[in-house]
């Protein structure tokens, strides 16, 4: 299914470029003009600022010089390190940046056909379930000394990063709207993926080594699957943003993670024993300060690692664990309000959600809370994410705003290993059947919660019978005795059990469990009953698989299936 792409503010890149190529003129964007309104909404532009096209800045401009690299970027005089760090991560994965910079070969300058250059570029960003194509002209803000005012590449004649930043500024209203953002939001805009925050200030991480190893495994799996990972240091109370720590890291700045690696280092030189070191490599996109602590560039610790391991420290993410439970990543996202900051209305709504485990046959809205399976905290961020494990069953997600009466558009996404489908519950009652005109309306709503079965005890091998006095065990012993008499005395009984709940024309069956101990069905069902005098029946069915082995030289196996059921009824 092709991805949906819409033109931002109705501007079609290909139509505009063909039009200006025929006219032999350079494009001037009327919707994002080269003026102060495109720069700031609170402060005045710096003195001496001007707008210039790339050919007015250097002689031989290029969109890319020797490809695209994470080392291409410098932040400039705008407080948007969050976006620069996201772009730096984006540059590490070609399949992702080629979506953001479409037709990158076609958009490149052609020195042999300068007549085809129209001064127009386009970039794509993911917004609220669709890709938005943003058109910009090539006029860039330049300071009094002739240097680009904002984001720029390390190579003076390379302009992809400056033009990408301009398109992102246009999408958000102006350049100043990019100050003080969230790297996770930029990564969503650049990839269409989901962001999952991981807090490192939890006390458990500092006290328990197994918690640190679990965090490292999460990062390693994510990085191996080519996810984009960033990190930043949240300033504590009394600490200044952008203050440099003793180790060389900067508080409040965003860093891109470029490698996650496990290496072996000598524990003690005399013993020859090796220990595993868990390492995460970060990159500073603006490149003014470096890490100066252990394992920094040129430190003696690097002498402990073999040359082979040094070469492997450049590995380039998705979290999926599948056991009996299903791990699901749930992301609730609200419409971005950054573009409203120019009008003084750019604050996000505090949003969150609850996940309720409901009846397996529910298709209508939830009227009361049954069992909470997971929940998020309320946050005024653009997206709220929760990762949780769910046992088999049906669940309802309830997105809400913290403030009563506050409304807004939202996007709900689920990520899981197995295929899942989302359905919006819009009705308070199930849809009527095709014969609803001939049948009475439901008069009673009944929920059934089948928790477990107790008293099951099954013989596992020849000559072993149970002495329990329960009726279930008596029947099991009787059948096993018949098998023991009718067949040669070498058999093994492999028992399974399931339950069936019946009400009027509805039948709900549990999955099959091993009939050992007290099987936990934990089945919730709901019935909209037309006839209150018709009983609800619950059947517990036991499947015995008798494995018969002959005494011939070449052993042959035969299976005998016996299904026993006990029915209970309740009105």
Q: Transcribe 72-130 into DSSP letters.
A: SEE--SSS-HHHHHHHHHHTT-HHHHHHHSTTHHHHS--TT-GGG--SEEEEEEEETTE
CATH class of 444-570: mainly beta
Maximum average pLDDT range among 25-39, 343-357, 500-514: 25-39
Give the C-alpha distances (Å, rounded to integers) separating 441 from 367, 437, 438, 529, 530. 19, 9, 10, 8, 6
Give the C-alpha distances (Å, rounded to integers) separating 209 from 7, 203, 214, 467. 50, 11, 9, 49
Question: If pLDDT is split at 50, 70 and 90, which confidence band does 159 have?
Answer: very high
User: What confidence score (pLDDT) does residue 270 get?
Assistant: 58
Question: If pLDDT is split at 50, 70 and 90, which confidence band does 469 have?
Answer: very low
DSSP element (H, E) containing 480: helix 471-486
User: What confidence score (pLDDT) does residue 201 get?
Assistant: 73
What CA dihedral angle connects 386, 388, 393 and 396, to 10 degrees? Answer: -20
Q: Six-digit token pair at 465?
A: 């019978």
Above 90 in pLDDT, residue 519? no
Q: 389 pairs with which residues across the strands?
A: 327
Interatomic CA distance for residues 473 and 453, integer angstroms:
13
Above 80 in pLDDT, residue 102? yes
User: How does strand 130-137 pair with strand 5-7?
Assistant: parallel
Interatomic CA distance for residues 272 and 249, integer angstroms:
34
Of 81, 151, 174, 331, which residue is the catalytic one? Answer: 81
Of 284, 331, 480, 503, which residue is the catalytic one? Answer: 284
Is residue 208 among the annotated active site residues?
Answer: no
Question: If pLDDT is split at 50, 70 and 90, which confidence band does 473 have?
Answer: low
Task: Name which of 14-28, 358-372, 407-421, 466-480 the model is least confident about.
Answer: 466-480
Question: If pLDDT is split at 50, 70 and 90, which confidence band does 560 have?
Answer: very low
Question: If pLDDT is split at 50, 70 and 90, which confidence band does 68 have?
Answer: confident
Per-residue pLDDT reduced to its tens digit, 38-54: 998 888 888 889 999 99
Above 60 in pLDDT, residue 569? no
Q: Are 545 and 460 in contact (CB under 8 A)?
A: no
For residue 11, count other CB atoms closer than 10 A to its CB: 19
User: What confidence score (pLDDT) does residue 267 get?
Assistant: 63
Q: Higher pLDDT residue, 364 or 413?
A: 413
Question: If pLDDT is split at 50, 70 and 90, which confidence band does 343 have?
Answer: low
Question: If pLDDT is split at 50, 70 and 90, which confidence band does 550 have?
Answer: very low
Average pLDDT of span 272-300: 60
Interatomic CA distance for residues 228 and 207, integer angstroms:
28
Q: 495 pairs with which residues across the strands?
A: 544
Task: Name which of 147-156, 446-455, 557-566 the model is least confident about.
Answer: 557-566
DSSP element (H, E) containing 540: strand 536-549
User: How does strand 130-137 pair with strand 140-142?
Assistant: unpaired
CATH architecture of 203-312: Alpha-Beta Complex (3.90)
- Assign a CATH topology to domain 326-416: Jelly Rolls (2.60.120)
Q: 383 pairs with which residues across the strands?
A: 333
Interatomic CA distance for residues 210 and 200, integer angstroms:
14
Packing angle, helices 81-90 and 183-191, rounded to 10: 40
User: What confidence score (pLDDT) does residue 471 get?
Assistant: 57
Question: If pLDDT is split at 50, 70 and 90, which confidence band does 489 have?
Answer: very low
Listed in order, the ranges of the chain carrying CATH 2.60.120.380 are 326-416
Question: If pLDDT is split at 50, 70 and 90, which confidence band does 2 have?
Answer: low
Above 50 in pLDDT, residue 463? no
What whole-number percentage of the chain has pLDDT above 90? 16
**Whole-structure pTM value:** 0.67
Above 50 in pLDDT, residue 551? no
Q: Give 369's DSSP letter.
A: -
Interatomic CA distance for residues 183 and 225, integer angstroms:
20
Q: Are 248 and 238 in contact (CB under 8 A)?
A: no
Above 80 in pLDDT, residue 506? yes
Task: Name which of 102-111, 174-183, 317-326, 416-425 the model is least confident about.
Answer: 317-326
Of 80, 182, 253, 503, which residue is the catalytic one? Answer: 253
Is residue 231 among the annotated active site residues?
Answer: no
Above 90 in pLDDT, residue 139? yes
Residues 150-189: b if buried by 16+ CB within 10 A, e if exposed: bbbbeeeebbbbbbbbbbbbbbbbbbbbbeebbbbbbbbb
Listed in order, the ranges of the chain carrying CATH 3.90.70.10 are 203-312
User: What confidence score (pLDDT) does residue 160 get?
Assistant: 92
Q: Are 175 and 40 in contact (CB under 8 A)?
A: yes
Interatomic CA distance for residues 154 and 134, integer angstroms:
24
Above 80 in pLDDT, residue 7? yes
Is residue 284 among the annotated active site residues?
Answer: yes
Give the C-alpha distances (Å, rounded to integers) separating 259 from 89, 128, 198, 283, 310. 11, 30, 17, 9, 12
Q: Higher pLDDT residue, 240 or 310?
A: 240
Q: Higher pLDDT residue, 547 or 90?
A: 90
Above 50 in pLDDT, residue 465? no
Q: Higher pLDDT residue, 369 or 547?
A: 369
User: Any alpha helices (H) in 372-462, and if so which ranges?
Assistant: none
Question: If pLDDT is split at 50, 70 and 90, which confidence band does 442 have?
Answer: confident
Residue the block writes with tokens 């209150």: 532
Above 60 in pLDDT, residue 483? no
Listed in order, the ranges of the chain carrying CATH 2.60.40 are 444-570
Maximum average pLDDT range among 356-370, 381-395, 542-556: 381-395
Per-residue pLDDT reduced to its tens digit, 298-320: 455 544 545 444 334 332 211 12
């Amino acid at each position: 299914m092709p991805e949906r792409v819409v033109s931002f503010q109705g501007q079609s890149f290909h139509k505009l470029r063909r039009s200006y190529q025929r006219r032999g003129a350079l494009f001037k964007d009327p919707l994002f003009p080269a003026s102060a309104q495109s720069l700031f909404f609170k402060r005045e532009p710096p003195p001496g600022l001007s707008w210039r096209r790339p050919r007015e800045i250097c002689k031989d401009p290029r969109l890319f010089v020797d490809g695209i690299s994470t080392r291409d970027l410098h932040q400039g005089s705008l407080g948007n390190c969050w976006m620069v760090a996201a772009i730096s991560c984006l540059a590490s994965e070609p399949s992702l940046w080629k979506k953001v910079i479409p037709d990158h070969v076609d958009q490149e300058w052609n020195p042999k056909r300068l007549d085809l250059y129209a001064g127009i570029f386009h970039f794509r960003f993911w917004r609220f379930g669709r890709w938005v194509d943003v058109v910009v002209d090539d006029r860039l803000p330049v300071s009094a000394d002739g240097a680009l005012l904002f984001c720029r590449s390390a190579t003076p004649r390379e302009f992809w990063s400056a033009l990408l930043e301009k398109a992102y500024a246009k999408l958000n209203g102006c350049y100043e709207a990019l100050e003080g953002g969230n790297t996770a939001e930029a990564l969503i805009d650049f990839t269409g993926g989901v962001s999952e925050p991981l807090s490192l200030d939890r006390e458990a991480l500092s006290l328990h080594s197994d918690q640190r190893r679990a965090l490292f495994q999460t990062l390693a799996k994510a990085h191996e699957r080519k996810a984009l990972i960033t990190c930043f240091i949240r300033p504590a109370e009394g600490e200044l943003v952008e203050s440099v720590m003793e180790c060389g890291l900067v508080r409040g700045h965003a860093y891109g993670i470029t490698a996650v690696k496990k290496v072996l280092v000598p524990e003690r030189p005399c013993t020859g024993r090796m220990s595993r070191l868990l390492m995460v490599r970060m990159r500073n996109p603006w490149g003014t300060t470096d890490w100066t602590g252990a394992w920094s560039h040129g430190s003696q610790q690097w002498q402990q690692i073999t040359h082979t391991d040094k070469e492997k420290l450049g590995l380039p993410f998705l979290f999926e664990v599948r056991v009996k439970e299903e791990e699901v990543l749930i992301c609730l996202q609200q419409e971005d309000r950054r573009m409203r900051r120019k009008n003084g209305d750019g604050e996000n709504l505090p949003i969150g959600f609850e996940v309720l485990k409901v009846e397996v046959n529910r298709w209508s809205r939830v009227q009361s809370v049954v069992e909470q399976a997971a929940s998020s905290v309320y946050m005024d961020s653009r997206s709220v994410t929760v990762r949780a494990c769910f046992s088999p069953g049906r669940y309802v997600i309830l997105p809400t705003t913290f403030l009563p009466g506050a409304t807004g558009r939202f996007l709900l996404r689920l990520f899981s290993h197995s295929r899942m489908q989302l359905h919006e519950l819009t009705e308070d009652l199930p849809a009527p059947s095709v014969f609803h005109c001939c049948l009475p309306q439901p008069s009673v709503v009944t929920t059934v919660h089948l928790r477990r079965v107790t008293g099951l005890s099954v013989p596992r091998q020849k000559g072993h019978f149970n002495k329990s006095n329960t009726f279930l065990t008596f029947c099991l012993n009787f059948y096993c005795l018949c098998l023991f008499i009718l067949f040669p005395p070498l058999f093994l009984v492999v028992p399974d059990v399931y339950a069936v709940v019946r009400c009027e024309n509805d039948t709900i069956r549990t999955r099959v469990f091993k009939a050992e101990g007290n099987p936990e069905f934990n089945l919730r069902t709901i019935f909209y009953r037309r006839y209150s005098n018709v009983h609800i029946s619950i059947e517990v069915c036991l499947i015995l698989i008798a494995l018969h082995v002959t005494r011939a030289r070449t052993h042959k196996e035969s299976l005998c299936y016996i299904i026993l059921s006990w029915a209970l009824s309740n009105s």
